[in-house]
């Protein structure tokens, strides 16, 4: 019944979509249609394995993007997932953070967008912090905490994530 009502409504709240995703096997076609009603922008078919959690629907998903189970997107600022990008299970993308000073912590939060470029792969359990961009074809190893931009064609790992090697060696200028 909930699915039938959702198909008739023009818009859905993120909470309603999450509930549908968690309780129904929607299939790619229906899931993509319902994402549009929440405000999530998609370029084509995407795969999202439930459970999947987000706050605002401030998401742009490229064609062929794959989001594995248990991912959490705190999307106060925009989150862009590129074409054929893959996110492992339990990945957390956080666009909001707080001041570290104890007196300003509750009142001085800030937001910044996150971009995961085309064909990037973020391993299981990674955390990506506000303002980070992950370059095309890059890989972030499992359980890493990404605090800075990752250039294209690079492997990053650790907490905090650091450069490990080039996946494709950049041409010398």
Compute the Cα dihedral for 37, 39, 42, 47 and give only its sign. Answer: negative
Burial of 151 (0-12, 13-18, 19+ CB in 10 A): middle
Q: CA–CA separation, 164 vs 45, rounded Å?
A: 32
- Residue 6: phi and psi, rounded to 5, are -60, -40
Comparing CA positions, the residue from 2, 95, 18 lying closest to residue 52 is 18
Query: Is 101 known to be catalytic?
Result: no
Are 30 and 48 within 8 A, CB to CB?
A: no
Among residues 98, 104, 164, 165, which one is catalytic? 98
Active site residues per annotation: 98
């Amino acid at each position: 019944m909930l699915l039938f009502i959702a198909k008739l409504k023009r818009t859905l709240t993120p909470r309603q979509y999450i509930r549908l995703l968690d309780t129904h096997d929607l299939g790619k076609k229906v899931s993509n249609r319902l994402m549009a009603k929440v405000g999530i922008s998609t370029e084509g078919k995407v795969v999202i394995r439930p459970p999947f959690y987000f706050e605002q629907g401030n998401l742009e998903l490229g064609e062929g993007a794959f989001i594995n189970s248990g991912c959490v997107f705190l999307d106060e600022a925009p989150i862009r997932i590129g074409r054929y990008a893959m996110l492992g299970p339990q990945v957390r993308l956080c666009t909001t953070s707080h001041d570290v000073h104890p007196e300003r912590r509750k009142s001085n939060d800030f937001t910044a967008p996150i971009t995961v470029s085309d064909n990037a792969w973020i391993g299981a359990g990674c955390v990506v912090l506000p303002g980070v961009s992950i370059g095309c074809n890059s890989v972030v190893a499992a359980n890493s905490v990404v605090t800075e931009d990752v250039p294209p064609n690079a492997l990053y790992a650790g907490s905090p994530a650091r450069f490990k090697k080039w996946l494709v060696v950049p041409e010398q200028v």
